[in-house]
Amino acid sequence: MTTTAARTAFVSPFWDFLAIGGISLLHYLLFRYFMPTVTAMDAGLENLLGVSISGAWVAAYLVWAVNHPHFSATSARLYRSRSLMMQFPVTALGIPVLVTVFALLAMAYPTIVAPWFTKLFMYWSSYHFSAQTLGVSVLYARRNGLTLTPLARRALAIFIFSTYLAPTLRAESYAEPSNYYGIILPLLGLPPFLWDVFQWILALSAVASVLLIARCAKTTHQRVSVLIFVPAVTQFVWFIPGGAIEGFREFVPAYHSLQYLFIAWIMQLREKQVERNLAPSRRYVRLETLRWLAVNVAGGVFLFYLLPTGAQQLGFAAEPFQTWGIVIAAVQIHHFFVDGVIWKLKNPAVGQPLMTDLDELQGAPR
Amino acid sequence: MTPDMLTIAHIFFLLLLGIGVLAYLLRRQLQARGLLALHLLSFLVSLLGLLILTPDRPLWIGGAIAAAMVGCFWLMARFENTDRG
């Protein structure tokens, strides 16, 4: 007999838990209670691997294996066919032009345009994290057989988006501006009491989310899988208690990317299988996974190495280091636009393939 | 306004004009959601322009523009998907 968690998971409750945020929760707990300094993490890695490796080194290399491929996966998904591009012509064709114009302006005016272009990227980045967190939570609720009422969904959304707004607003009340690739970011100078307000909103929406989701489960006579709550709890840990922990916060983008790649991987396997009418098999899953990963790693190198390197040759007023940061921001802004369009669970072309699981893709007996 | 700011203001004006003209020329080819997407883009470009071109604005205006940008991100979630519900 399959459990609720097993039916809800794409691979298995354990692997799903790790991929959609569990691994970051374990990392956080390790740092919070057992290894509270970066030096201790570096020593821990040395003990584990027998060679001297720093956490910063691991984070720096992880971006090429996880972060950058996740951006590439989005572009590959939109630009893989002309018909798909023509479904979203403004996003597919107009946005790259607009983002390029903004990036060129930022490179030409590094003290006037670049700070606000970067600020746009910063604001949108955490918002984008929140939208994905909500989407993954709703996806798991759907796989769990739960239909969230609009009120339950709203309470969950308020909780998730508050974990983004609270630290963002708090950062805007600091006295010292922050620095991104040598670009000094302006501050809005908001009053510090907003942080207190959002702490209350966070607490109330957390309680409301749990109660309302439990009521949905009672109405539909479903047992609630813990996987539904993992993305929201994880994002809370990323941005609120974990946001100040050095040696943890550097890894948060990688954990967000891992969550994305996990869902996108299943989507890729299912869509290709249906499009080409391929028989389910372990061999198909293995080969397609390897091919898809290789394409996305190569795409990441193009987006985050070749593009910035090429932009540095244009000779604009921005310093080479600033140019690098501007191009990286531009690539990510493009990703935020595209992601908001291509992942709509209400669209059957997106929601339907995401009701499959690895066993079905491999043709494994149930 | 410095000469640089004036140049940037002109470029933003041309961008907004360009998006408007594009929306007009493509009004029969694009679906309603595509046209709405173009208007949302204009809105985002205008907000960014306001932030860049008004450095000496009162504090509350900066906060209001930032809040409008977050609202714009929310609208962008319906970007090119407005007819899908």
What lies within 8 Å, CB to CB, of A63 at 6+ separation is: A253, A254, A304
Give the minimum alpha-carbon distance from A340 to chain B in angstroms, rounded to a whole number.
Answer: 5
Instruction: Kindly state the average pLDDT of the residues A205-232.
Output: 92
Instruction: Measure the CA–CA gap between A301 and A323, rounded to whole angstroms.
Output: 17
Instruction: Pick from A100, A116, A344 the residue to mutate for testing the B interface (most B CBs within 10 Å).
Output: A116
What is the predicted pLDDT for the residue at B85?
A: 35
What is the predicted pLDDT for the residue at B82?
A: 45
What is the predicted pLDDT for the residue at A292?
A: 96
Chain B residues inside the 8 Å CB shell of A127: 70, 73
Instruction: Measure the CA–CA gap between A117 and A152, rounded to whole angstroms.
Output: 35
- The mean pLDDT of chain A is 89
Question: Which residues of A sit within 8 Å Cβ distance of B?
Answer: 88-91, 94-95, 98, 101-102, 105, 109, 112-113, 116-117, 119-120, 123-124, 127-128, 131, 165, 172, 188-190, 336-337, 340-341, 344, 346-347
Render pLDDT for A93-133 as a digit per residue (tens, 0 to 9). Answer: 989 999 999 999 999 999 999 999 999 899 889 899 999 99
Instruction: Kindly state the average pLDDT of the residues B3-17.
Output: 94
Chain B residues inside the 8 Å CB shell of A165: 70
More confident of the two residues A293 and A2: A293
CB pairs under 8 A between A and B: 76
Chain B residues inside the 8 Å CB shell of A318: none
What is the predicted pLDDT for the residue at B10?
A: 95
Instruction: Measure the CA–CA gap between A130 and A2, rounded to whole angstroms.
Output: 31
Among partner residues B63, B79, B85, which is closest to A341 by beta-carbon distance? B79
What is the predicted pLDDT for the residue at A348?
A: 83
Instruction: Pick from A90, A117, A130, A162 the residue to mutate for testing the B interface (most B CBs within 10 Å).
Output: A90
What is the predicted pLDDT for the residue at A2?
A: 58
- Per the listing, tokens 């439990």 go with A214
Among partner residues B63, B70, B80, which is closest to A88 by beta-carbon distance? B80
Among partner residues A98, A120, A341, which is closest to B80 by beta-carbon distance? A341
Render pLDDT for A11-49 as a digit per residue (tens, 0 to 9). Answer: 999 999 999 999 999 999 988 887 666 666 666 767 766
pLDDT level of residue A329 (50, 70, 90 thresholds) = very high
Give the minimum alpha-carbon distance from B19 to chain A in angstroms, rounded to a whole number.
Answer: 9
Nearest to A9 by CA among A256, A272, A358: A358
Among partner residues A101, A120, A340, which is closest to B79 by beta-carbon distance? A340
What is the predicted pLDDT for the residue at B84?
A: 42
Alpha helices in chain A (DSSP H): 4-8, 13-17, 23-29, 38-49, 55-62, 68-78, 82-87, 89, 95-108, 114-143, 150-172, 193-220, 230-239, 252-275, 282-301, 307-312, 320-342, 348-351, 358-362
Instruction: Kindly state the average pLDDT of the residues B54-69.
Output: 79
Maximum average pLDDT range among A68-72, A76-80, A361-365, B37-41? A68-72
pLDDT level of residue A1 (50, 70, 90 thresholds) = very low
Instruction: Measure the CA–CA gap between A118 and A340, rounded to whole angstroms.
Output: 19
Among partner residues B22, B76, B81, which is closest to A337 by beta-carbon distance? B76
pLDDT at A330 over 50: yes
pLDDT at A280 over 80: yes
What is the predicted pLDDT for the residue at A188?
A: 78
Instruction: Kindly state the average pLDDT of the residues B20-43.
Output: 87
Render pLDDT for A138-155 as a digit per residue (tens, 0 to 9). Answer: 999 999 998 899 999 999
Chain A residues inside the 8 Å CB shell of B69: 120, 123
Instruction: Measure the CA–CA gap between A206 and A297, rounded to whole angstroms.
Output: 37
Percent of chain A with pLDDT over 70: 92
pLDDT at A276 over 80: yes
A168 with A126: CB under 8 angstroms? yes
Do residue B63 and residue A112 have CB atoms under 8 angstroms apart? no
Instruction: Measure the CA–CA gap between B74 and A102, rounded to whole angstroms.
Output: 21
Give the minimum alpha-carbon distance from A329 to chain B in angstroms, rounded to a whole number.
Answer: 15
Q: Please give the C-alpha separations between residue A338 and each of A74, A91, A237, A253, B29, in angstroms, as whole numbers.
A: 7, 6, 26, 18, 21
Do residue B84 and residue A188 have CB atoms under 8 angstroms apart? no
More confident of the two residues A234 and A90: A234
Q: Please give the C-alpha separations between residue A319 and each of A104, A172, A178, A275, in angstroms, as whole numbers.
A: 13, 26, 18, 46
What is the predicted pLDDT for the residue at B79?
A: 66
Render pLDDT for A175-206 as a digit per residue (tens, 0 to 9). Answer: 778 889 999 988 877 778 888 888 899 999 99
Nearest to A122 by CA among A195, A59, A178: A178
> A271-275, A324-328, B78-82: which has the minimum mean pLDDT?
B78-82
What is the predicted pLDDT for the residue at A51?
A: 64
SS3 call for A160? helix
